[in-house]
């Protein structure tokens, strides 16, 4: 095993670019949760230069992505600058020497495909604990090193949309709002979920439900619901087999849990779709972060 640094909450700046009077920066750090070196990106709006602590939106990306996809393709920074909102984008899985990958070299398991769960099965359990990383370690790191306040929201795309909704439903006290683009809504009932959950969590499918947004919604607290916004393109090639937003909508209706699902005509699964509606999501989160 790689030797751990003395201080686990230290960060090292990898790169920085000025953008809309704020700063996009990449950092690396040793993750004790994942037992490897990790990288994440932060956008800090210009408000922090005036000594203001700003709210933060955590963005979780999808299969094959890193911290770079959203920051480079979504076009979110102009409005984040205006709104005074920080954005934090972690990687999608542990990486590095000794971190296991799909033995068949497929994209939907292993590197780039952490699925935001805590793996319990070998060889994954030593590194693949993305749930704890996103819920506990990364926010502690961000709140130690950056001028952000205690108000957080969370969003994501595809596998990251699954992660965002699932994490928010399990930790409603930690977030002001949650949104998603093209989320994997019911991973216990789709091929991506069966492959990943079977590998990471084992054959006992009852254990999978703790990471399934539909199952979590069925037993959520409707007396104090978390605002949820979901955008889904109707030309998405993964819609019917993998994403299944109708399952999420049905669960919310049966539970009486308010959820806004917008089907967007002609849009697919790409970042062109995200870029088209990201400003709606930033305004949605800003409203609830202010509240």
Nearest to 86 by CA among 136, 150, 30: 150
Q: Which two tokens stand for residue 151?
A: 């108000």
Please give the Cα distance from 39 to 47 (Å, whole number): 24
Please give the Cα distance from 216 to 212 (Å, whole number): 6
Contact 244, 229 (CB under 8 A): no
Active site residues: 158, 236, 269
Q: Which two tokens stand for residue 238?
A: 């993964």
Nearest to 119 by CA among 111, 109, 127: 127
Classify residue 34 as left (phi > 0), alpha (psi -120 to 50) or beta.
Answer: alpha
Beta strands in 162-239 (DSSP E): 178-181, 228-233
Please give the Cα distance from 1 to 35 (Å, whole number): 8
Please give the Cα distance from 182 to 242 (Å, whole number): 10
For residue 276, CA distances in Å to 12, 75, 269, 281 come to 33, 9, 12, 10
Contact 131, 117 (CB under 8 A): yes
Contact 25, 44 (CB under 8 A): yes
């Amino acid at each position: 095993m790689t030797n751990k640094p003395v201080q686990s909450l230290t960060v090292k700046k990898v790169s920085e670019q000025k953008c809309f009077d704020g700063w996009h920066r990449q950092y690396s750090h040793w993750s004790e949760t994942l037992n490897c070196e990790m990288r994440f990106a932060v956008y800090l709006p210009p408000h922090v230069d005036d000594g203001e602590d700003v709210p933060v939106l955590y963005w979780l990306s999808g299969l094959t992505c890193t911290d770079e996809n959203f920051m480079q393709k979504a076009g979110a920074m102009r409005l984040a600058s205006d709104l005074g909102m920080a954005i934090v984008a972690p990687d999608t899985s542990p990486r590095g020497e000794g971190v296991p990958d799909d033995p068949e070299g497929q994209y939907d398991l292993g590197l780039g495909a952490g699925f935001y769960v805590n793996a319990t099965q070998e060889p994954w359990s030593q590194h693949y604990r993305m749930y704890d990383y996103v819920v506990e370690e990364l926010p502690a790191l961000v709140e130690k090193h950056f001028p952000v306040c205690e108000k957080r929201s969370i969003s994501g795309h595809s596998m990251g949309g699954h992660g965002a909704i699932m994490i928010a439903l399990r930790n409603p006290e930690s977030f002001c709002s949650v949104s998603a683009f093209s989320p994997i809504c019911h991973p216990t009932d789709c091929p991506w979920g069966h492959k990943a959950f079977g590998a990471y969590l084992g054959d006992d499918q009852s254990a999978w439900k703790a990471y399934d947004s539909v199952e979590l919604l069925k037993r959520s607290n409707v007396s104090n619901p978390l605002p949820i916004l979901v955008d889904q393109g109707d030309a998405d090639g993964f819609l019917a087999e993998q994403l299944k937003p109708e399952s999420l909508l049905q669960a919310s209706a049966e539970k009486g849990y308010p959820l806004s699902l917008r089907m967007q005509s002609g849009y697919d699964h790409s970042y062109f779709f995200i870029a088209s509606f990201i400003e709606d999501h930033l305004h949605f989160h800003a409203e609830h972060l202010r509240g």
